[in-house]
Chains A and B, each alone.
Chain A
Amino acid sequence: MEEQRYVVFLFPSVSYALKAEKILKAAGIAHKLIPVPRHISSDCGVCVRIAEDKERDVEGELRGRVEWDKAVLL
């Protein structure tokens, strides 16, 4: 079995991350709020992790509704 690969979305602040989480929840996209991995620097300590193949869907949901800094492949 191939290991699941993830992408994390980084946000300018915790409240953006929370807002994104609500949007993804409403859209039914599996996600997880996790601490920002140590090797990625971010002012906001939490990020939203999603399956790699959902990156486009997530961008589509978030665009125009909540800003994000970047998406990083883990």
Chain B
Amino acid sequence: MHVLSRRTTQDVTIRGVEIPVGSSIYLLVGSVNRDAEKFPDPERLDINRPPSRTPGFGYGIHYCLGAALARMESQVAFETILQRLLDIHIAGEAPSRRQLWNYR
């Protein structure tokens, strides 16, 4: 997930930006995995990147209900595709960006 929505329960200041209590905020958590202060080459896919606490499944009581299922499904899917389709490659032009709220 790229975006999570939350409501502030108290006044908070993040990097000089004051957010008053009761504000509806949208967190672009997808950007965390591209944090240049944490990863040396943030825009590049690196399957050897050390595990980090990804916020993609949320945090706390609203943690994603299907996180464990999602990890299992993705592991099965990627492993199966890559082992069965050894010469899979991109065909045609690069895909276009989808103007969706939470997916690209």
A, B co-complexed: no
